Structure 1
Amino acid sequence: MTWSFEVTPVDHPDAARLLREYLDEIASRFYGRQISDEELDAALEEHHSRDLTPPTGAFLLAWRDGELAGCAGLRVAAPDITELTRVFLRREERGKGGAALLVAAAEDVARGLGATLIRLDTRDDLVEARALYTRLGYETVEPFNDEPFAHHYFAKPLAPALSDRV
């Protein structure tokens, strides 16, 4: 299995497709039912990803063996703090080691954006995500926003990339 990651504009068709899949799954899971196309369209506009582009952020696509597999977004919160968001792997790609690799690739991009700290929020029902972040060295922190869908907050200091070390 070969994984690769590429920073991609959020308006690229592959990025738009994955953002739609992500929000469809995350919203349907939250409401306990499949959301309608109208609800999904409204949610995509309300929770847009237009700021996940340089210099305010970045958006990564994940590929496994040449097939579109997932995505992750980064948002610059302060000159040295970047927020991880929109981390998603398609169902058929889960359990193949891609999530940890995707987060590591996002951390590398965050370093490139000047971050020395990466943070994120997640919901109560996303137990798999919380377990992943804990396994990857993220620690629970005090809330840093008042998002209505945020219940758990994590952060991780980012060591300089190996290429930046002397």
Structure 2
Amino acid sequence: MTTWQAPAWSVRPEPAGSPAATRLRRAYYAEVATRYWSRPATTTEVDAGTADDPRDRLAPPSGQFVVGTYGGEAASCGGVRLLDGVRAELTRVYVAPAARRTGGGGALLAALEAAALGLGARELVLDTRLDLVEARGLYVKHGFREIPAYNSGPYREIWYGKALLPA
């Protein structure tokens, strides 16, 4: 997979269980849980929430996980996994708060789109919550459009999709 770069950003494939990826996935879960519960998530809650992460499905041949570095520090992550022969799903997309508005979100999405294409996908889909406004803004800015629900669950409130065009 190609390394994607934006000024001061570099995004590369990395195992979802690596130390940097684990730290970022835990930060992602802590942030989304804190927003959902309107109070800081506890370490026990983060442990429980990340125990069900789909790490085994975020590795080739059915998926990919990436980590973005900003100024030499791991500051973003995301995964893509095949749902079927043409659709791949984005998951665990996260940019650390201190690194937001620096181009990292776009570099992260570009790397994930390239990974999805490499897996044979022609469409990217995702689900998210309405309160995750920064993420929703990032997706719309990069060509995602609201689509009908393709799954269900307590934390799924809005769905997005994007057709992928081979480079």
TM-score (norm 1): 0.92
Using the alignment, how far apart are the partners of 1:7 and 1:160 within structure 2? 19
Residue among 14, 18, 32 paired with 1:8: 14
Residue among 133, 148, 153 paired with 1:147: 153
Shift of 1:49: 2.9
Residue among 43, 63, 78 paired with 2:49: 43
2:139 paired with 1:128: no
- Describe the superposition over 1:88-107 as per-residue Cα deviations: whole angstroms up to 9, x where unpaired: 01111011111112111110
Shift of 1:48: 4.3
Structure 2 letter corresponding to 1:72: G
Residue among 121, 124, 129 paired with 1:118: 124
Report the aligned-residue RMSD.
1.1
Show the counterpart of 1:83: 89
Residue among 68, 76, 79 paired with 1:73: 79
Shift of 1:50: 2.8
2:38 paired with 1:32: yes
- Describe the superposition over 1:64-88 as per-residue Cα deviations: whole angstroms up to 9, x where unpaired: 1221111011111012111011110
2:103 paired with 1:97: yes
Using the alignment, how far apart are the partners of 1:35 and 1:24 within structure 2? 6
For structure 2, which runs of at least 5 residues remain unmatched after alignment? 1-6
Show the counterpart of 1:109: 115
Shift of 1:51: 1.5
2:26 paired with 1:20: yes
TM-score (norm 2): 0.92
Q: SS state of the match for residue 15, structure 1?
A: helix
Show the counterpart of 2:59: 53
Relative contact order (alpha carbons < 8 A, sep ≥ 6): 1 or 2 greater?
A: 2
Shift of 1:47: 3.7
Write out the 4+ residue segments of structure 1 that deviate beyond 6 Å after TM superposition: none
Using the alignment, how far apart are the partners of 1:63 and 1:131 within structure 2? 21
- Describe the superposition over 1:97-131 as per-residue Cα deviations: whole angstroms up to 9, x where unpaired: 11112111110111001010001111010112112
Using the alignment, how far apart are the partners of 1:67 and 1:53 within structure 2? 22
Using the alignment, how far apart are the partners of 1:67 and 1:36 within structure 2? 25
For structure 1, which runs of at least 5 residues remain unmatched after alignment? 162-166
